[in-house]
Amino acid sequence: MRRVLLVQPSLQPPGGGNGLAAWVLQALVTKHRVTVLSWQPVEVEPINRFFGTHLHRSDFDTIVVPRAWRLVPDLLPTPAALVKLSLLMRYTRKVSAGFDVIFGACNETDFGRRGIQYINYPSYLRPRPAVDLRWYHQAKAPLAAYYAVVDRLAGFSLDRMRSNVTLVNSDWAGEQVRSFLGGNPRTLYPPVANPGPGLPWSERAPHFLAVGRISPEKEYERVMRILVRVRANAPDLRLTIVGTSDRQTARYFKRLQSLARSLGDWIQFRQNVSRDELRELMGSHRYGLHGMREEHFGMAPAEMARAGVIVWVPRGGGQMEIVGNEPALMYDSEEDAAAKITAVLYDPATQERLRQGLEARAGLFSTDRFVREVREIVSAFPG
């Protein structure tokens, strides 16, 4: 049994990165003595309900970044993710001495010594992808000054980051990491809780799901516009958007609701659903559509694919690996997506082929596989 420090800003839902960290914790608590260092306190009940873990508060110890460190960043009008990550990195170096292994689940990190870092997309690879940009990224001079401040705040060493064992969530993300840090990162696909078999195909509703955090980068407007085109040939088609918003995205959610109302009564929203409710929705629908360009991995499309849903994704990012780079399931434009979806809706043979292809890849994203590999990596880490 080793003393492991798991470093992650938050394990609370929603968010694929938080869910991944929760499953890292799940993998390690029965084999090692684990302490979680986080920006937010850990509340296991919502974690278990949302991510499908079965953690107990007695399974691990916790350290929360002191309130004095958190006070100003938590009051800022923007998420200030890089500020929080920088402070968390700095605080990690203050408390890491008593641990055999440090496992960071939130991108590249300088632990002050060699550790294990799981990178969804490099935090310090700049400029950021267009899909990640917000209004506060538009002014170049203030943005450069902001980067300079947070880099100084973090006080990180690229050489120490390069010395870490590096895991990535997709081969695509691995390419981005190599361009920045070099080395040979190992792809460890995120864990997708087993949703169960769901209903037989013939009993599923021939409608669409769009699942994920309610946030601008998810491009739910794009999903709606695509399905408006598809409905020209399939007027009975319906869309259910399943997700969770917060104070940072409340205005965006209101815009989505307004757009949906303007398009008719065929779009509904489901917020804050439980794991069982999500499983029921995925197991009763035939089709899914993802809108985010260059998604680093894409927990939502992976969950739908595991549930037996035929899911379409943009051509770009790690999400292409979920669908096995299947041309019929990747789109370049709204017109391309509508054409490919329409072709599949009326072709049972193609539906069966695509379902079999997605099912064959399901094991790559299983929680059992993820737990096993995390344990192997931590056990093999020299300490």
Domain spans in the chain, listed from the N-terminal domain onward: 3-191+367-380, 201-365
* All residues at 6 or more sequence positions from 193 whose CB lies less than 8 Å from its CB, including other chains: 51, 52, 275, 303, 367
Annotation: CATH topology of 201-365: Rossmann fold (3.40.50)
Contact status, residue 247 vs residue 260, Cβ threshold 8 Å = no
**What are the structure tokens assigned to 377, written together?**
């990596």
Domain 3-191+367-380 top-level CATH class? alpha beta
Measure CA of the first residue to CA of the last residue in the chain; give whole Å: 12
For residue 137, the model assigns a pLDDT of 54
Q: 157 vs 81, 118, 151, 200, CA distance in Å?
A: 19, 17, 10, 53
Q: What pLDDT does residue 324 have?
A: 97
**Vertex 24: Cα angle to 112 and 101 (nearest 5):** 30
| Distances in whole angstroms, Cα of residue 228 to Cα of each of 96, 170, 253, 324 | 53, 31, 19, 27
**Contact yes or no for 318/121 (Cβ under 8 A):** no
Query: What's the number of CA atoms in the CB half-sphere (13 Å) around residue 378?
Result: 30
Q: What is the pLDDT of residue 300?
A: 93
Intervals of the chain under pLDDT 50? none
Helix, coil or strand: residue 285: strand
Are 74 and 122 in contact by the 8 Å Cβ rule? The answer is no
Q: 79 by DSSP, 3-state: which? A: coil
Q: What are phi and psi of 330, to 5 degrees?
A: -120, 140
Lookup result for tokens 């059992």: 368
Angle at Cα 160 formed by Cα 158 and Cα 164, nearest 5°?
A: 115
Q: What are phi and psi of 4, to 5 degrees?
A: -115, 130
Q: What are the strands, taking DSSP E only, across the chain?
A: 3-7, 33-38, 61-64, 101-104, 116-119, 165-168, 186-187, 205-211, 239-243, 267-271, 285-289, 310-314, 330-331
Buried b (16+ CB within 10 A) or exposed e, 345-369: beeeeebeebbebbeebbebbbbee
Identify the pLDDT of residue 253.
Answer: 96
Q: Do domains 3-191+367-380 and 201-365 have the same CATH topology?
A: yes
